[in-house]
Amino acid sequence: MSLGNHREGLCIVRFDGASGGNPGPAGAGAVLYAEDGRLLFRFREGLGCQKNSSAEYRALILGLKQAIYKRFRNITVQGDSIHVINQFLGSWKISNPNLLSLCDDALQLRECFHSFNIQHIPTEYNTEVNAQANRAIYLRG
């Protein structure tokens, strides 16, 4: 089945980060879904030793980069990190320079999309991507 027809439609990008300590071994996960909810792609990345908040941002960036690479231009981003989403939207201040830099990276990637929406979802709706992030902890960063 060709994915070309989905690239003109909406892609749902879900992200999650995980850390086995704060800081500790960390991983990022992202999952791309078709508009109708079908799972299209799973991604995970080992991050080495990081805090959970950094892993969450790295997961967001991973999802955005993969959506760009897969040539999606209309996306809805969903994650269970209320902090990352509110900081990304500018509703909450970012005092940590590392997180500010990661947020800036994500904001730059947002410019690659024709339409972009980001929203918080409850953790129980983020289980697939959470599994990817937790598996990624064991990958070398």
Residue 141 lies in a domain: no
Per-residue pLDDT of 49-106, as tens digits, reads 999 999 999 999 999 999 999 999 999 999 999 999 999 999 999 999 999 999 999 9
Q: Confirm if 102 and 59 have CB atoms less than 8 A apart.
A: no
**pTM reported for the whole predicted model:** 0.93
* Overall domain count for the chain: 1
Please report whether residue 29 resides in a domain: yes
Residue 95 lies in a domain: yes
Q: Is 105 exposed, middle or buried (0-12, 13-18, 19+ CB in 10 A)?
A: middle
Per-residue pLDDT tens over the stretch 1-30:
344 444 557 899 999 999 998 899 999 999
What does the chain come to in residues?
141
pLDDT of amino acid 8: 59
Which CATH number is 120's domain given?
3.30.420.10
Residue 29 to residues 38, 86, 97, 131, Cα–Cα distance (Å): 17, 19, 23, 8
